[in-house]
């Protein structure tokens, strides 16, 4: 501790002396030195412009590389130590050559590897909606957000249901989740399971949710930045998925007379939906779940969701709607696709995801992200399976794999 106090005093003196020595550089808008906790971005936004720019970074181990040729640079590192940055404006009239030191220090309050905040919870209609988490009269969008947060933050693992296609949740951690090279970066737990009757086959309950990620580019702490889709095998996705799928759900009339269907279906025309492919259908009601299925805190009479829709994965093995098996997507990096602990042919955990798999939602091209602040998960199938109800992604927990459990 003593050593650290000494270090800060030294730093303070450095700042004081720098202020006097380099006063004319104030218009550049950059300091000579910064202290940043690990996994927190430092936004370097020079106030001067020129023809071309160059940022060179020297890491604590001495490795030097040109890290950007843009005017602005976002410094974000996870390893502790002293980093030296050099910023050049390559311009004949106003050349700039500025050295900046960034001290990456340990965070003051130890980071949690788990979810700290739920930013938004907007499920689509479904049999577990208003129940997981539970809605009570008077609940609002904000109180339901808080209930969702209480259900999946930390190591609570109570879980939330996202309902039918498009229903989503947005959450984050108390730091930026780093994209470590050649490593998977985060884990998300769903409730998929293997069918005990079919050992060796990847079938059972599998209700895939697509993962979107974003970095807080504008540093306002809210997820209003560009989203990227986690897509492990973009070529496969292009082949099997429906891009730009849009669905609209209609609030049922509370006085609607139930229209019983086969077996356990208590209302087969319960909540109508239409999509942008000219199809329509219903989220049916079953006798196992008698509460309202349309999110009761939502005042809109219609809910619209858009995204990538995965194909149906169920097979009615009974032939009469009593026994379904869902096939897991072997090339899919989805939430609730594989059971917890499942591994692929290379021994990697199926529910561990790599930020390097991010693609542009429109372009479907890979992008490089240093880290992410926000994760959004939405149900990616529009499938109805008799007494099992609609296919809906459930989410119980998420974890940054680079922090370590406490
Ligand atoms: Ca990675
Ligand atoms: Ca933002
Ligand atoms: Ca599930």
Tokens of 48: 């001067």
104-148 confidence digits (pLDDT tens): 999 999 999 999 999 999 999 999 999 999 999 999 999 999 999
CA–CA separation, 67 vs 370, rounded Å?
12
Q: Which residues have beta carbons under 5 A from ligand 3 (an ion)?
A: 191, 207, 336, 394
394 C-alpha vs ligand 3 centroid, how far in Å? 5
Provide the residues around ligand 1 (an ion) whose CB is within 5 A: 179-180, 183, 185, 354, 356
Residues of the chain with pLDDT under 50: 1-3, 6, 9-26
Q: What topology is assigned to 2-105 in CATH?
A: Immunoglobulin-like (2.60.40)
Q: Which ligand is nearest to the CA of 183?
A: 1
Q: Outline which parts of the chain fall under CATH 2.60.40.10.
A: 2-105
Residue 68, class by beta-carbon neighbours within 10 Å (0-12 exposed, 13-18 middle, 19+ buried)? middle
Å from CA of 406 to ligand 1 middle: 22
- What's residue 349's pLDDT? 98
């Amino acid at each position: 501790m003593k050593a650290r106090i000494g270090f800060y005093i030294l730093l303070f003196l450095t700042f004081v002396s720098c202020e006097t020595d380099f006063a004319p550089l104030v218009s550049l808008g950059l300091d000579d030195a910064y202290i940043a906790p690990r996994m927190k971005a430092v936004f370097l936004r020079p106030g001067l412009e020129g023809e071309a720019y160059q940022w060179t970074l020297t890491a604590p181990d001495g490795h030097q590389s040109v890290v950007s040729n843009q005017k602005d640079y976002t410094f974000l590192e996870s390893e502790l130590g002293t980093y030296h940055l050099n910023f050049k404006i390559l311009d004949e009239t106003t050349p700039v050559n500025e050295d900046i030191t960034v001290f990456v220090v340990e965070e003051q309050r130890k980071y949690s590897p788990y979810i700290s905040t739920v930013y938004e919870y907007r499920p689509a209609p479904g049999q577990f909606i208003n129940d997981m988490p539970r809605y009570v009269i008077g609940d609002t969008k904000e109180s339901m957000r808080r209930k969702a947060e209480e259900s999946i933050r930390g190591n609570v693992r109570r879980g939330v249901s996202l309902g039918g296609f498009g229903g989503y949740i947005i959450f984050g951690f108390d730091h930026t989740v780093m994209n470590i090279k050649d490593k998977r970066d985060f884990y998300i737990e769903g409730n998929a399971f293997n069918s005990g009757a079919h050992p060796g086959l990847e079938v059972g309950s599998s209700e895939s949710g697509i993962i979107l990620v974003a970095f807080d580019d504008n540093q306002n702490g809210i997820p209003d930045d560009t989203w990227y889709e986690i897509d492990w095998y973009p070529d496969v996705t292009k082949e099997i998925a429906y891009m730009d799928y849009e669905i609209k759900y209609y609030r049922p009339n509370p006085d609607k007379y139930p229209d019983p269907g086969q077996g356990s279906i208590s209302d087969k025309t319960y909540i109508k939906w239409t999509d942008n492919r000219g199809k329509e259908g219903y989220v049916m009601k079953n006798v196992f779940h008698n509460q309202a299925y349309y999110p009761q805190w939502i005042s809109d009479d219609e809910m619209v969701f858009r995204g990538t829709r995965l194909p149906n994965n169920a097979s009615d093995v009974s032939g009469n709607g009593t026994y379904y098996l869902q096939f897991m997507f072997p090339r899919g990096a989805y939430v609730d696709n594989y059971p917890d602990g499942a591994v692929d042919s290379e021994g990697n955990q199926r529910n561990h995801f790599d930020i390097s798999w991010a693609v542009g939602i429109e372009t479907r091209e890979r992008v490089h992200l240093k880290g992410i602040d926000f994760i959004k998960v939405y149900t990616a199938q529009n499938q109805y399976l008799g007494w099992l109800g609609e296919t809906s992604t459930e989410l119980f927990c998420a974890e940054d794999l680079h922090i370590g459990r406490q």
